[in-house]
Amino acid sequence: MSTIGGPSTAARDDLAQDFVAFAVEAGVLRFGEFKTKAGRLSPYFFNAGLFDDGAKLGRLAEFYARRMQASGLAFDMIFGPAYKGITLAAAVAIELARLGRNLPYAYNRKEAKDHGEGGNLVGAKLHGRVVIIDDVISAGTSVRESVAMIRAAGAEPCGVAIALDRQERATETTQDGVRDADHSAVQFVQRELGLEVCAIATLSDLLQYLARQADPALAQHLPRVQAYRDRYGV
């Protein structure tokens, strides 16, 4: 099972390159030295929380919708895990409706509500094939929690749509407690949970973007990003 959305065709590569350029221009994809959750020093950082106005969020939703439609992934509704996934799911649902496909969406609360409608799920009733939308997959834990909620509600998770696949070795452990250093977090989700992962762009796409840069201020980051990929990539 492979990630949907890599640079396997010219059309997909164009979409990924456009997205990387957009993320850089929006200041969402930055270069420097950043400590990741795994304790690694990364030469780049992707913060989807900085898609922080209507225009940026609308364009981000367009990229998600285009990638999801092109992927061939079959789904009946959208689920956004708290917190970033909530906004992403709503925005993508709006964009898909604009494109002629009106689908229900739902999201979860971090803490169950004990009054009103109660529970920890908000929005449409989970049913059919559910695609999970998030920004990145840094570990399999969050996706696994979403899968459990979806199945507990009687629906079936069918895939995960993310903005960026970092393509680096996972720090997550498998369900039997064995740490897997040979697979990425995305591959962990694919293998352990049996879900397709639909990524708008990957680290390979970022490297292609930097390699094609005429702007020396951007091109200078290529050696460090490539070295990071060589050290931690899969």
Contact indicator for 165, 203 with CB cutoff of 8 Å:
yes
Nearest to 10 by CA among 70, 99, 65, 74: 70
State the burial class of residue 213 (Cβ atoms within 10 Å of its Cβ: 0-12, 13-18, 19+): middle
Task: Say how far apart CA 70 and CA 125 lie, in whole Å.
Answer: 26
Q: What are the angstrom distances between the C-alpha of 208 and each of 104, 170, 189, 223, 234?
A: 36, 23, 25, 12, 17
Point out the catalytic residue in the list 56, 84, 110, 115. 115
Contact indicator for 150, 156 with CB cutoff of 8 Å:
yes
Point out the catalytic residue in the list 37, 110, 113, 125. 113
Residue 114 backbone dihedrals phi, psi, to 5 degrees: -105, 10
113 catalytic? Reply is yes
Q: Positive or negative, the Cα torsion across 120, 123, 127, 133?
A: negative
Q: What are the angstrom distances between the C-alpha of 212 and each of 20, 186, 220?
A: 12, 26, 11
Q: Positive or negative, the Cα torsion across 75, 47, 199, 190?
A: negative
Residue 176 backbone dihedrals phi, psi, to 5 degrees: -95, 10
Residues serving a catalytic function are: 113, 115
